């Protein structure tokens, strides 16, 4: 993917609201056809950064280019080329799926086929259903379809699965994953780490208005690379467990033991040592690190750095 053209370029972006610095020197480069995640805790600058990219906010400082265009100077053209996920409140409760798609199609010179979009996003059976009667997942799939009705080259999706039940989230994720087949570049703003890990080709982690990490989900997780092994057993030689390769810490409280360390084979190594000690553990569980762990580690590191300065 590194040889693909740059679609969105952000350099030295700063944005403040009153005395609050929402974005501090953000640099991003988003490539053609990728699903790019922007993640971080609440107040980290995710939405403000994306609003500057789409022209909804004016940067205080820095350079933003979308398909080579300035979102502020070339606002009308950028809006034709960039689709933005609509909030539910922007649709009439009585409008049907078909009516909404046909109405929005009239806003563009060369729109996508509303009927094709209904098929792509699993809305055919709900074509004549009023918006208010759609499920949460169906509403979100419609919002994505509406963002694509103008045949945009870029689509921005902001917190698309907030408030959805697990089944609706899975349906929505499937709709977003389908964007790759359409060749659309997607910018996904989310605070759900499992969502970013599942969908995104690359992820930028924002903390305190700055990008503190940017890589593939796999590479970010590998940078933390923590495995936690928990089990219950009596008469365990905890000292021997602490000496095992890859074990960073081993604690015992009664018969409950908790080990953390690195390496794909840590659980096997621990199991082998317990076998050598003649111990059969109970409630043996293994937790491998994910993007949530990356977020926590980066957030803690950033707080420690700010405290030192």
SS (H, E, C) 227-244: EEEEEECCCCCHHHHHCC
The answer to whether 88 and 142 have CB atoms below 8 angstroms apart is no
Q: In what order do the strands lie in the sheet with 282-288?
A: 247-253, 256-261, 227-232, 282-288
Q: Specify the pLDDT at position 238.
A: 93
Please give the model's pTM, rounded to 2 decimal places.
0.76
Cα(182)–Cα(283) distance, integer angstroms = 46
Cα(217)–Cα(208) distance, integer angstroms = 20
Q: Specify the pLDDT at position 270.
A: 93
Domains of the chain: 6-216 (3.40.50.300), 226-288 (3.30.70)
Give helix 136-148 / helix 166-177 axis angle, nearest 10°: 20
The answer to whether 27 and 11 have CB atoms below 8 angstroms apart is yes
Q: Specify the pLDDT at position 87.
A: 58
Q: Specify the pLDDT at position 66.
A: 97
The pLDDT profile of the chain, 309 residues, written as one tens digit per residue, is: 567 899 999 999 999 999 899 999 999 999 999 999 999 888 889 999 999 999 999 999 999 999 999 999 999 999 899 999 865 557 889 999 999 999 999 999 899 999 999 998 889 999 999 999 998 888 888 998 999 999 999 999 988 887 778 888 888 888 888 888 888 999 999 888 888 889 999 999 998 899 998 999 888 877 766 788 999 999 999 999 999 988 888 999 999 999 988 766 788 899 999 999 999 999 999 887 777 777 676 666 556 555 554
């Amino acid at each position: 993917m590194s040889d693909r053209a740059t679609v969105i370029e952000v350099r030295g972006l700063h944005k403040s609201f009153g005395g609050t610095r929402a974005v501090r020197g953000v640099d991003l480069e988003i490539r053609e056809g990728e699903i790019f995640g922007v993640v971080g805790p609440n107040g980290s600058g995710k939405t403000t950064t994306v609003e500057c990219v789409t022209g909804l906010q004016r940067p205080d400082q820095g350079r933003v280019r979308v398909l080579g265009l300035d979102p502020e100077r070339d606002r009308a053209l950028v809006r034709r080329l960039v689709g933005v996920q609509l909030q539910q409140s922007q649709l009439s409760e009585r409008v049907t799926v078909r009516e909404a798609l046909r109405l929005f199609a009239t806003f563009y010179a060369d729109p996508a086929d509303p009927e094709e979009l209904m098929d792509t996003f699993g809305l055919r059976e709900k074509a004549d259903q009023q918006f208010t009667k759609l499920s949460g997942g169906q509403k979100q799939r419609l919002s994505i379809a509406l963002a694509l009705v103008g045949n945009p080259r870029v689509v921005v999706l902001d917190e698309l699965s907030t408030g959805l039940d697990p089944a609706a989230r899975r349906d929505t994720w499937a709709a977003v994953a389908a964007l790759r087949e359409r060749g659309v570049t997607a910018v996904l703003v989310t605070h759900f780490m499992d969502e970013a890990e599942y969908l995104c080709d690359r992820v930028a982690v924002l903390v305190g208005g700055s990008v503190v990490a940017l890589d593939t989900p796999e590479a970010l997780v590998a940078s933390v690379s923590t495995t936690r092994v928990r089990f219950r057993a009596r008469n365990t030689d905890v000292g021997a467990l602490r000496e095992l390769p890859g074990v960073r810490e081993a604690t015992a409280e009664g018969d409950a033991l908790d080990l953390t360390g690195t390496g794909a084979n840590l659980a096997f190594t621990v199991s082998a040592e317990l076998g050598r000690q003649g111990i059969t553990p109970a409630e043996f569980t293994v937790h491998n690190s994910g993007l949530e762990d990356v977020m926590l580690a980066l957030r803690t590191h950033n707080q420690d750095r700010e405290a030192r300065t």
